[in-house]
Amino acid sequence: MKLLLNEEMHKVDKKAITVVGLPEMVLMENAGRAVAEAADVALDGAAGKHIVIFVGKGNNGGDGLVAARLLENKGAFVYVVTLTSTKEISGSAAQELKILKNCNTQIFSWNRSKENQSRIFSLCVGADLFIDGMLGTGFKGELKGNYLQVVELIEQLPVPVVAIDIPSGVEADTGSVVSCAVHAQITVTMVAPKPGLYLYPGASYSGNVLVANIGLPESILETAASKHYLLDEDMILSLLPFRPKNSHKGMNGRISIIAGSRGFTGAAALCGEAAVRGGGGLVNLLTPQSVQGILATKLTEVMVKGISEETNGALNLKAVTQVETALENIDVVAIGPGLGQGEETQNFVRAIVEKIRIPAVLDADALNALAANVTLLGKMPLKIITPHPGEMSRLTGLTQEEILTSPLKVAESYAKKWHAVVVLKCAPTIIALPDGYVFINSTGNEGMATGGVGDVLTGTIAALLGQGLSVENAALCGVYVHGLAGDIAAQKGTIGMKAGDIVACLPLALHSILSGVKEG
């Protein structure tokens, strides 16, 4: 699903009005109708309910004014509170205000008068629902003045909120919240979702996001110059490989994983198991000789081969030749989980990276080894890197705060710079492609914040890469399926969920997406 930044949304609106010929009032009426319908459903019928609608002076407020009239028609008791003088409301919103004044809706203006504020507070205490039409997608920075006072009031009361387009106080492009914002249970966003509804902290204020069709021709959205997308099931279904009934293991990918070391066999085992559960045909694990027996016992469906190591258990440069030979008939390689950060191992990683010419997934200690020489990434033709914010910080020199403040921009910038698919493992996970396209994942949950989950992701992506997907599509599908497996596992509870639970649910996640696909 396409996401629109604030500037892109303005261009879409302008095109609808000036090129297509849709009057702004029509768009506002349709938007307000969508909000009223959402409020009606949220209240299980608006008739007889008390609704307070807070409106600003722009089109977001205009949408709220339309909703007020329509909810009144449904039998609700509606009270409108304007955050500015009604004289400051202009354009189509002013026309909607003029119409509303001829209805039975009571309209108040928030001001410094204690008597006025006390009256509005009394209305709010008895409300069944608030509608937030104060600030739209153009808001940036910090709430001030009347807006801050009203948001603080809304936050004090246990009244559910429907937000129009985006909760007031949340920046639409980034999800940033400087001081405070409205916590909405439902956000009705117009035409297309905005990134800030899914990026934290904004995502924690947005509640259930409903995308409203306000009558724009589909062609306008299709041609909008956005390179930002929300990963959803329809998109993933169009990308996942279909497995014919006469397939054999050789058709489903020959995958090698270079992982594990003394004390870190769990990471290698999780990655290998995920590669199998994700649909890989033949999975090989290359690991230090001293832990080969342990991993062979853990992984009955994975072929485990020991390779050269130092006396301390770290892979050494002698292992490079062994790995080169082992990769001769392999389709995909994944490197990093549990390798360790010893000097010998890091030298091995840097040496083997220069020689790999097949699609590769780099994670964990492989990324740590490359942090001192990131230019080596340029020598790999097809690669996916899967850093968490700490690893991304070491690779880029940026602080973790800088990365988490602007994850879309950071991932996009370095995907282009390194000509790599960057899977930035934050909440939510961001996938950036070298051509500038950026995707926000819509699956996953807080239960996945536990050790080993990243290793599972590496194996999942490698499995899909082995089944013939491009590095771009394997990353997109891998992230989505991995998150969906986490969501399935979370049905038994998020606290105490472990990485192995996600591995076990990978086949269920794939089946749930592909179950509607028929051969031919």
**Hey, what amino acid is at 434?**
P
Residue 204 CB neighbour total at 10 angstroms? 14
Residue with the larger pLDDT of the pair 250 and 279: 279
Q: Which residue, 483, 494, 458, is CA-closest to 270? A: 458
The ranges assigned to domains in the chain are: 2-226, 234-514
Q: What is the pLDDT confidence band of residue 516, given thresholds at 50, 70 and 90? A: low
Q: Is the dihedral of CA 104, 105, 106, 109 positive or negative?
A: negative
Q: Is the dihedral of CA 284, 336, 451, 461 positive or negative?
A: negative
Q: Residues near 330 by Cβ (< 8 Å), separated by ≥ 6?
A: 254, 255, 256, 284, 358
At 225 the pLDDT is: 87
Tell me: the pLDDT tens digits for 117-161?
889 999 999 999 999 999 999 999 999 999 999 999 999 999 999
Return the CATH fold of 2-226: Rossmann fold (3.40.50)
Task: Give the distance, in angstroms, between the CA of residue 109 and the centroid of all CA atoms in the same chain.
Answer: 38
Burial of 518 (0-12, 13-18, 19+ CB in 10 A): exposed
On whether the CB atoms of residues 137 and 166 are closer than 8 A, the answer is: yes
State the chain's mean pLDDT as an integer. 95
Coil/strand/helix, residue 210: strand
Residue identified by tokens 């010929």 is 21
Checking if the pLDDT of 403 tops 80, the result is yes
Residue identified by tokens 């009361």 is 157
Tell me: the pLDDT tens digits for 17-34?
999 999 999 999 999 999
At 518 the pLDDT is: 44
Q: Residues near 329 by Cβ (< 8 Å), separated by ≥ 6?
A: 254
Q: Which residue, 81, 91, 9, is CA-closest to 58? A: 91
Q: Which residue, 131, 67, 124, 130, is CA-closest to 99? A: 67
H or E element that contains 9: helix 6-15
Residue 56 phi, psi (nearest 5): -95, -170
N- to C-terminal Cα separation, the chain: 26
Q: Where are the strands (E) in 63-133, listed by range?
A: 77-82, 106-109, 129-133
Q: Residues near 438 by Cβ (< 8 Å), separated by ≥ 6?
A: 227, 228, 229, 408, 411, 412, 415, 430, 431, 432
Distance CA(481)–CA(489), nearest Å, equals: 12
Average pLDDT over residues 43-62: 97
- Adjacent-strand bridge partners of 189: 211
**CA distances in angstroms from 99 to 39, 66, 122, listed in the order given:** 21, 9, 26
Tell me: the pLDDT tens digits for 312-336?
888 989 999 999 999 999 999 999 9
Average pLDDT over residues 48-73: 97
Checking if the pLDDT of 209 tops 70, the result is yes
pTM, two decimals, is: 0.95
**CA distances in angstroms from 215 to 16, 22, 26, 94, 202, listed in the order given:** 9, 9, 8, 21, 27
Q: Which residue, 255, 267, 229, is CA-closest to 412? A: 229
Checking if the pLDDT of 517 tops 60, the result is no
Residue 46 CB neighbour total at 10 angstroms? 25
Distance CA(265)–CA(450), nearest Å, equals: 16
Q: What DSSP string describes 246-281?
A: T--GGGG-EEEEE---TT-HHHHHHHHHHHHHTT-S
Coil/strand/helix, residue 130: strand
With a pLDDT cut of 70, the percent of the chain lying above it is 99
Q: Where are the strands (E) in 289-343, listed by range?
A: 303-307, 332-335
On whether the CB atoms of residues 204 and 427 are closer than 8 A, the answer is: no
At 246 the pLDDT is: 84
Distance CA(217)–CA(221), nearest Å, equals: 8
With a pLDDT cut of 90, the percent of the chain lying above it is 91
Q: What is the pLDDT confidence band of residue 519, given thresholds at 50, 70 and 90? A: very low
Checking if the pLDDT of 520 tops 70, the result is no
Tell me: the pLDDT tens digits for 482-491?
999 999 999 9
CATH of domain 234-514: 3.40.1190.20
Could you say which DSSP state residue 74 is in?
Answer: T
